[in-house]
Amino acid sequence: MGTTNSSICNWQLIDDAKKILSDGNHTSNAVNNLLLDLRSRFNLNAIVVRQRISRPFSLRIMYEHVKNCPTKRINQTITYSEEDWNKSVSEYKKGYYIYYFDENKAPISGVIAKYKPQCILQLPYFSKGVFLGTLDFIDFEQPHDWSEQDIIILSSLRDLIFEDLTKLDEDKESKSSEYDKDYITGMNRYETFIENLDRAIPSCTIGNNAILVVYSDIHHFKLINEGYGYRKGDELLREYARQLQSGRTYIDACRVHSDNFIVAYQIQASDIDTTLRELEIEQKWLSLELQKCCPDSHIRICSGIYIIDNSDIDAATTAAYANMARKQSKQEKGLRSVLFSSDMIKDMKRRAYLNDELPKAIQNHNLVVYYQPKISCSSEKLFGAEALIRWQKDDGTFIYPDEFIPEFESNGNIVSLDYYVYEEVFRYQRYRLDHNLSVFPVSMNVSRLHLESNDILPYIRSLLDKYQIPPKYIEFELTENIYMQSIEPARKFISTCNDLGISVSMDDFGSGYSSLNMISSLPIDVLKIDKIFMKNETLSDNDKIVLNSVIDMAKRLNMTVLCEGVESKSQLNFLKDAGCDIIQGYYYGKPMSQTEFDKFVTSYV
Ligand code: C2E
Ligand code: CA
Ligand code: CA
């Protein structure tokens, strides 16, 4: 076929191309199909799409359909000198470039050149003035005589292809940012972290190389989100990430989820102790840095550390162990960083056991409500009781609340447990009323989680309705921490209880961060002074000074004062003189079963 002046393209080509490109759901397949169609339609030897890449002056062959040319060139990068690049781009700016073979001219370079192409039509693609690549039509056998109309139509086709490719790139980019990086901090994803750590673990040998896996988070981060808003929370996370990444060199670091971060540091085995000490200091410093983002809150970083000293463990397990140690660091006041120990696995199994067994324990009444008497100081008569849960196993042994309440508070199971306790108490009060036995107020503990859900007040109302208990026999205890952490829900809870005629106490007063100003602003009926003040059988002068002022303050605020944990006569005498109203403690009685409490009541009234 010789050269011809008539057009070989018509606009039908564009419609056909659009159809091919929109067929199927995979753009790169569609582009391949289109190139194949075009190559055979025009009987060309090759059609090539070259796209500009981030490497300077470089194009990469993204698609190519070649007849009689076995060399695989897809993904090949062609890098030009700056001069050649600029020359080509200024040529391309004219709209298109046609090369015709000429024995007298310098040959073109590259693999295609081996076949002495007779004709190459290059249609460059520019977007907003930036050169992004070319669509090349190559003929080895005879020169095509492309007409102006052919070039116009093929240029439209080129636009179609490049628009599709740009979209594909954007998709890839957004997918990679979505899938490969954390969208808040830009850190690697957890899966990538684990892959990188797995790759590094074989370097660990006892006494030689080690890796420290540090899993950390901000204690009560949720409160920061709630108090300052999520945008501030995100800002804090970004700063956290920045600080972690700008500190000591690491194998990898990532945000696992929420405010949970994990970092792996490669160190010499001989440096383990020093590094642990340094990390402790760095962590304090990190807390102070983050504090700057939220000056009014108390930022505490908690972390758990796992030391990899041999290669017999996989990365995911080390992360789980470091996380276990982190959880432990939260439970121990004042501790910021905890090293993993194998006891934690036992502890985890125990917690799993408790969570698994809870529904059965509720159903089988293995959870038993105990009652601890409260005695009035003035009359030395029974004033009421506090309901305290005990878990009685089938073998008769007990599990005490300190062993399971923190776990259930952290996973939400506390809600069903407490509802069970409330119902048991209401039923007990109903039983005493029905049997014309003297009835006393019984207080029940409330967890923060109750206040965060909207269920507790309707539930209490339903119990009042169901058992018809006069509200004066019901009391709820909220620890001072609850007031601090959930002030508004606490306020709502107290005011509804007040409306219902149920009294509310502040439990564990003096054990944490109490805000005296808060006490005066909340209509609390009873102040329960924490048993921490009763640590000495004979109170120290300083304890007495504090107790005198607390009792005095509560009385001025018209609150009833109860002191918990009273074990000795001398404590009792002091508290009576100081004006304390009610005593709860082993001195008068330990928490006891319902049957024992029934007997206690008879002997005390
Ligand atoms: P709490 O509410 O401060 O309860 C008082 C704790 O002090 C009880 O421990 C009680 O046995 C103990 N205690 C009372 N008098 C004395 C004393 O004279 N000396 C000493 N050393 N201890 C005394 P218990 O029953 O082990 O409960 C521990 C904590 O578990 C409770 O502290 C409370 O925070 C929580 N808890 C217990 N039962 C429940 C429940 O049904 N629901 C919820 N949410 N929490 C509960
Ligand atoms: Ca209590
Ligand atoms: Ca208490």
Please state the three-class secondary structure of 22-62 as a single string: HCCCCHHHHHHHHHHHHHHHCCCCEEEEEEECCCCCEEEEE
Measured in Å, residue 522 CA sits from the centre of ligand 3 at 19
> Ligand 1 within 6 A of 51 CB?
no
> Ligand 1 within 6 A of 385 CB?
no
Name the helix (H) or strand (E) containing 303.
strand 301-308
**pLDDT (tens digit, 9 = 90+) per residue, 71-89?**
567 777 787 888 888 888 9
> Ligand 1 within 6 A of 372 CB?
yes
What is the C-alpha to C-alpha distance for residues 598 and 575, in angstroms, rounded to an integer?
27
Q: Whose CA is nearest to atom 15 of ligand 1?
A: 585
- The lowest-confidence range among 37-41, 315-319, 467-471 is 37-41
Measured in Å, residue 543 CA sits from the centre of ligand 1 at 21
Per-residue model confidence (pLDDT) at position 84:
85
Ligand at shortest distance from the CA of 446: 1
Nearest to 191 by CA among 241, 256, 265: 256
Contact between residue 205 and residue 311 where contact means Cβ atoms under 8 Å apart: yes
Ligand at shortest distance from the CA of 443: 2
Per-residue model confidence (pLDDT) at position 128:
80
Measured in Å, residue 350 CA sits from the centre of ligand 2 at 24
Per-residue model confidence (pLDDT) at position 173:
62
Q: Say yes or no to pLDDT of 112 above 80.
A: no
Position in ligand 1 atom list of the atom nearest CA 409: 44
Q: Whose CA is nearest to atom 12 of ligand 1?
A: 565
What is the C-alpha to C-alpha distance for residues 266 and 212, in angstroms, rounded to an integer?
7
Per-residue model confidence (pLDDT) at position 25:
55
Measured in Å, residue 507 CA sits from the centre of ligand 1 at 10
The CA-atom distances, in angstroms, between 65 and each of 51, 299, 361 are: 15, 61, 71
> Ligand 1 within 6 A of 400 CB?
yes
Could you tell me the sign of the dihedral formed by the alpha carbons of 430, 436, 437, 440, in that order? Answer: positive
Nearest to 33 by CA among 57, 49, 17: 17
Radius of gyration of the chain (CA): 38
> Ligand 1 within 6 A of 421 CB?
yes
Contact between residue 134 and residue 92 where contact means Cβ atoms under 8 Å apart: yes
**Please, which contacts does 348-355 make with residues 24 or more away whose CB atoms are closer than 8 Å?**
348/324, 351/407, 354/399, 354/403, 354/404, 354/407, 354/408, 355/407, 355/408, 355/411, 355/413
Measured in Å, residue 385 CA sits from the centre of ligand 3 at 12
Q: Which amino acid belongs to residue 36?
A: L
With bands split at pLDDT 50, 70 and 90, how would you rate the model's confidence at 2? Answer: very low
Per-residue model confidence (pLDDT) at position 567:
97
Share of residues in the chain with pLDDT > 70 (%):
92
> Ligand 1 within 6 A of 591 CB?
yes
What is the C-alpha to C-alpha distance for residues 327 and 298, in angstroms, rounded to an integer?
19
The CA-atom distances, in angstroms, between 410 and each of 404, 405, 587 are: 10, 8, 32
3-state secondary structure of 139: strand
The CA-atom distances, in angstroms, between 327 and each of 331, 353, 365, 459 are: 7, 17, 30, 31
The CA-atom distances, in angstroms, between 596 and each of 398, 399, 497, 542 are: 16, 19, 30, 37
- The lowest-confidence range among 157-166, 315-324, 438-447, 546-555 is 157-166
Measured in Å, residue 444 CA sits from the centre of ligand 2 at 7
Nearest to 301 by CA among 338, 275, 257: 338
List the strands of the sheet with 260-268, edge to edge.
Answer: 252-257, 260-268, 209-218, 301-308, 337-339
Query: Which has more pLDDT, 105 or 39?
Result: 39
Position in ligand 1 atom list of the atom nearest CA 414: 44
With bands split at pLDDT 50, 70 and 90, how would you rate the model's confidence at 143? Answer: confident
Contact between residue 184 and residue 237 where contact means Cβ atoms under 8 Å apart: yes
Ligand 1: residue of 368, 420, 421, 445 to mutate (most ligand atoms within 8 A of CB) is 445
> Ligand 1 within 6 A of 307 CB?
no
Q: Say yes or no to pLDDT of 604 above 70.
A: yes
Residues in the chain: 605
Q: Whose CA is nearest to atom 3 of ligand 1?
A: 508
Per-residue model confidence (pLDDT) at position 107:
59
- CA 365 to chain centroid, in Å, comes to 36
Q: Whose CA is nearest to atom 42 of ligand 1?
A: 445
- The lowest-confidence range among 160-169, 244-253, 359-368 is 160-169
Measured in Å, residue 299 CA sits from the centre of ligand 3 at 26
What is the C-alpha to C-alpha distance for residues 218 and 417, in angstroms, rounded to an integer?
28
Q: Whose CA is nearest to atom 11 of ligand 1?
A: 591
Per-residue model confidence (pLDDT) at position 99:
84
Q: Whose CA is nearest to atom 38 of ligand 1?
A: 388
With bands split at pLDDT 50, 70 and 90, how would you rate the model's confidence at 178? Answer: low
Q: Which amino acid belongs to residue 467?
A: Y
**pLDDT (tens digit, 9 = 90+) per residue, 324-362?**
999 889 876 666 899 999 999 998 889 899 999 999 999
3-state secondary structure of 175: helix
Q: Whose CA is nearest to atom 23 of ligand 1?
A: 565
Highest mean pLDDT, choosing among 121-135, 162-176, 320-334, 377-391: 377-391
What is the C-alpha to C-alpha distance for residues 263 and 253, in angstroms, rounded to an integer?
4
**pLDDT (tens digit, 9 = 90+) per residue, 238-288?**
999 999 998 888 999 999 998 999 999 999 999 999 999 999 999 998 998
Per-residue model confidence (pLDDT) at position 494:
95
Position in ligand 1 atom list of the atom nearest CA 564: 15
Measured in Å, residue 405 CA sits from the centre of ligand 1 at 10
Ligand 1: residue of 354, 368, 388 to mutate (most ligand atoms within 8 A of CB) is 388
- The lowest-confidence range among 8-22, 123-137, 454-468, 523-537 is 8-22
Ligand at shortest distance from the CA of 534: 1
Mention every residue, 6+ apart, whose C-beta is less than 8 A from residue 298.
Answer: 291
N-terminal to C-terminal alpha carbon distance within the chain = 120
Per-residue model confidence (pLDDT) at position 113:
61
Per-residue model confidence (pLDDT) at position 141:
80
**pLDDT (tens digit, 9 = 90+) per residue, 538-574?**
999 999 999 999 999 999 999 999 999 999 999 999 9
Contact between residue 121 and residue 137 where contact means Cβ atoms under 8 Å apart: yes
Measured in Å, residue 349 CA sits from the centre of ligand 3 at 28
Q: Whose CA is nearest to atom 7 of ligand 1?
A: 565
Name the helix (H) or strand (E) containing 508.
strand 503-509
**Please, which contacts does 25-32 make with residues 24 or more away whose CB atoms are closer than 8 Å?**
27/164, 27/165, 27/167, 27/168, 28/63, 28/168, 30/164, 31/63, 31/161, 31/164, 31/165, 32/63, 32/65
Measured in Å, residue 362 CA sits from the centre of ligand 1 at 19
Mention every residue, 6+ apart, whose C-beta is less than 8 A from residue 335.
Answer: 302, 329
Q: Whose CA is nearest to atom 34 of ligand 1?
A: 445
Position in ligand 1 atom list of the atom nearest CA 388: 38
With bands split at pLDDT 50, 70 and 90, how would you rate the model's confidence at 3? Answer: very low
- Max Cα–Cα distance, the chain, nearest Å: 123
- Number of CB atoms found within 10 A of residue 479's CB: 21
Q: Say yes or no to pLDDT of 68 above 90.
A: no
What is the C-alpha to C-alpha distance for residues 449 and 406, in angstroms, rounded to an integer?
12
> Ligand 1 within 6 A of 442 CB?
no
